[in-house]
Structure 1
């Protein structure tokens, strides 16, 4: 009877799986992510815009083909801007882009700091006479 209970106990034991090895063993590629320096540059811009009252919330998505940092005026709305990293476009137009709410690409390039300069421009209201 003790042999039988030992066998059942072995069946019910959980095993520890190394997450890194598990991900490598799967056929799916790892999702695209922002690196620490990239996030630092993005969050610097985000902090400045929050301080100015322009932005209030953000979301980060890591997908198979790209990583997206979305910024919102309010949490329930569509994003005002999306900062995207798409490694497939790195050799052509550049991996980084800033997209507005309508889907228009405002700036694209190979280096994130250059692409983020699109937020440095001060927009002014022009009044008609």
Structure 2
């Protein structure tokens, strides 16, 4: 959702809010169509942004290549489901890393030649279990 839109002659800046936080977007106009697209959406409108994420001193922003208004609201549901999946993936990776660190720290006392399936936590997905066995 667009917030704090500021439109200039050669670019447009706005804050993009998706329910998880704000990120600043810079959209530079390359052709007259880009300018018309920027005039077509206002604050409070859902948009799809294609661009490159950049950061400078922990200030994140997106350099947009394309900004289009959303006409199919299934895209919004898809985005929220993707955020949930990303959160689950990140959480499960941290659980796996924490549990594998405990196994490797125990191996300094009693050397273990490899990780067995029984040493991998049950919360891990089958893919994570296979990769942790192959990694060792």
State the TM-score, normalizing by the size of structure 2: 0.28
State the TM-score, normalizing by the size of structure 1: 0.29
Whose strand fraction is larger, Structure 1's or Structure 2's? 2
